Structure formats: C-alpha cells, structure tokens
Amino acid sequence: MEFKSAFVAIVGRPNAGKSTILNSFVGEKLAAISSKPQTTRTKITGIITEDDYQLVFVDTPGVHLPKTRLGDYMNKSAMGAINGVDAAVLTVDAARDPGAAEEKIVSELRAQKVPTILAVNKIDKVAYEALLPLIDTYSKMMDFETVIPVSATKGDGMDKLFDEIKKHLVPGPMFYPEDMITDKTEREIAAEILREKLLRLLEQEIPHGIAVEIEEMKDEENIIKISANIFCEKSSHKAIVIGKKGDMLKKIGTYAREDMEKFFGKKIFLQLWVKIRDDWRNNNFMLKNMGFSGKE
Ligand code: GDP
Ligand code: MG
C-alpha cells in the first residue's frame, strides 16, 4: 500500500481547545506540556505515524492583534503555520460567536485556499439548539470541507474529526522518524514547561513581559540538570517572580520540575535565575532566542 502523509494546521483563537484536540490525538506525552490553557506561544508539532500514514499536526500560537513586535512575530508564526499545509482544522468555541480573531484566520485560510475542517469544540457547554445557528454563521464565512461538533475534553466527535482529517492524506513520504511525536527539542520543551508555570502562577500582566531561556541542559545518567534564565522587563517584575522570601520562584521551580520529570521520565535538577533584560520585546535577538523567529 502506498504510504501517505499530510501536514495539518490546528488554528483558532487562544483557548478554543487546539492543544486539547492535538493532545487527544497524539497522546499522553504532549499533554504534559500543553494541557493548560493559553500556554502555547511557540509552535508544537504532534506527529502520528501508523503503518501506512503519517499525520503531522501543527499547533499554532493564538492569533492576537499585534501590539508589540512580539505580537507581530506571534501572528506571523501563527499564519506561517498554514503555509503549505494539506488541511487545517479551524477550532472554535461553541459557546462564542465568531470575532475578529476568527475573521482574520478565515480570511487567511481562504486566501491560501487551505481545505478547512470546522471543529466546533466544547459542545458539552452549550445546548444542542444553539449549535445550528452558530454553524450557520460560520458557514457563511467560509466554504468548509465539513463541520464536526466535538468535545475535546469528553471525546465526543473526536473519532469523526480524526477520520475527516485522514481524508486529507496524500501519497507522500514519512517526514519524521516513526517514533517521533514532536519536533521540539528537549530544550524547547523544557522552556515551554517553565513558561507555562510562569503564565499560570503569575499575575496577568507580568508573564507577557517575561522570556525564558534554557541556558544549560545536561543529561546525566540518573538525572537531567537544567539551568534556566527568566528574563523580566523591570526590577518590580523580578521581585514578583521571586516572591516573598523566594516563595514564588520556589513554587514555579517545583511545578516546572514536576512536569519536566513527568515528560522526560527522569529526575530533574532545576536551577532558575531571574534576570532583568531591558526591552526584550523589541529585541530581535531575544525574540529569535526565545523561539519567536519568523522563519519556520
Ligand atoms: P488552545 O489555547 O486553543 O490550545 O486551548 P486549550 O486546548 O489550551 O484549551 C483551553 C481551555 O479549554 C482548557 O481549559 C481546556 O480544558 C478547555 N477545553 C478544551 N476543550 C474543551 C471541551 O471540549 N469542553 C470544555 N468544556 N472545555 C474544553
Ligand atoms: Mg494551546
């Protein structure tokens, strides 16, 4: 049988459930890094390889209207992900009407003529009757290949969604080794886990001014030693990251370490350094360094 493959972008506004969908397709390991809301800034690829096919999923950062250069980068990379894919899954929240974010994504999908499946997610939150008008509204925005109501957390409709995605497989090579589930390097994964803890534990306005860098990652026999920098914009932010008597930093470190241990399946020794880096948001070097590079 001829081998088939496809690149599939999972697009949609932050919090629509893209990571949850990806995780449920790809399985446990990715869940460890991206099951929390609003966390994925960089791209995560999930890969499913079977005997006769390989699906490569591209999970994109959310689409925001750019306020800073960081916003620009994030948008570019969100849109870059649909460049040349075989199909896209537009993931939307069944409890929300389409807004500017969806308009923007749809116009890009249309411009690039990407065959798109509409996944109306979180149907567990809405009454069945509310779905039809919403689907109707979306259907006027774009000619979708198909519309699948799903609940990524409950699993409803997910098999159907997966079957629809598989229809977009085309004869082609195995792009990645069969045992690979993500193209992220271990450093990127470690940085992502740490970033997620910062987002979750810190006050709203602060994490967006924060960058994370894995300075060193040493895989030793029984332990992985990781040394990471947390860059803040201001000393007041640094103080918040550290917390009273170092409480906050300890909490961040503990949670990050626990997730890293789960992901890497090994004991982790994690050292965190909090530093001030002026205006990193507008600093190209830092953006590239943090994985916000415009190139794919
Ligand atoms: P992303 O930003 O698009 O990647 O969204 P996430 O996958 O991180 O999900 C955002 C939030 O929505 C998380 O709290 C998920 O648990 C929740 N969520 C995802 N799918 C569903 C669903 O089908 N039903 C409900 N009720 N919540 C969901
Ligand atoms: Mg996500």
The structural domains of the chain, with segments of one domain joined by +, span: 4-171, 186-289
Cβ of 38 less than 6 Å from ligand 1: yes
Residues 6+ apart with CB under 8 A from 11: 18, 60, 63, 78, 81, 82, 88, 89, 90, 91, 105, 109
| pLDDT score for 35 | 34
Superfamily in which the 4-171 domain is placed by CATH: P-loop containing nucleotide triphosphate hydrolases (3.40.50.300)
Dump pLDDT digits (tens) for 123-134. 999 998 999 999
Cβ of 18 less than 6 Å from ligand 1: yes
pTM summary value: 0.64
Asked whether residue 267 carries a pLDDT value surpassing 80, the answer given is yes
- Sign for the pseudo-dihedral over CA of 120, 25, 42, 233: positive
Cβ of 253 less than 6 Å from ligand 1: no
| Partners of residue 121 on adjacent β-strands | 93
211-219/223-232 β-pairing: antiparallel
Asked whether residue 142 carries a pLDDT value surpassing 70, the answer given is yes
Confidence bin at 38 (pLDDT 50/70/90): very low
Task: Give me ligand 1 centre to Cα 17, in Å.
Answer: 4
CATH architecture of the domain covering 186-289: 2-Layer Sandwich (3.30)
The better pLDDT of the pair 28, 201 is held by 201
Atom 14 in ligand 1: which residue has the minimum CA distance? 37
Asked whether residue 186 carries a pLDDT value surpassing 80, the answer given is no
CB 92 within 8 A of CB 138: yes
> Mean pLDDT lowest for which of 128-132, 260-264, 288-292?
288-292
| Ligand nearest to the backbone CA of 14 | 1
Cβ of 153 less than 6 Å from ligand 1: yes
CB 131 within 8 A of CB 95: no
| pLDDT score for 218 | 85
Asked whether residue 179 carries a pLDDT value surpassing 60, the answer given is yes
> Mean pLDDT lowest for which of 9-23, 192-206, 227-241?
192-206
Asked whether residue 3 carries a pLDDT value surpassing 90, the answer given is yes
Cβ of 20 less than 6 Å from ligand 1: yes
Cα–Cα distance between 183 and 102 in angstroms, integer?
A: 27
Could you give the angle at the alpha carbon of 176 between the alpha carbons of 174 and 180, nearest 5°? Answer: 130
| Ligand nearest to the backbone CA of 150 | 1
Q: Which of 286, 292, 193, 185 is closest to 232 using CA atoms?
A: 286
| Ligand nearest to the backbone CA of 126 | 1
| pLDDT score for 37 | 34
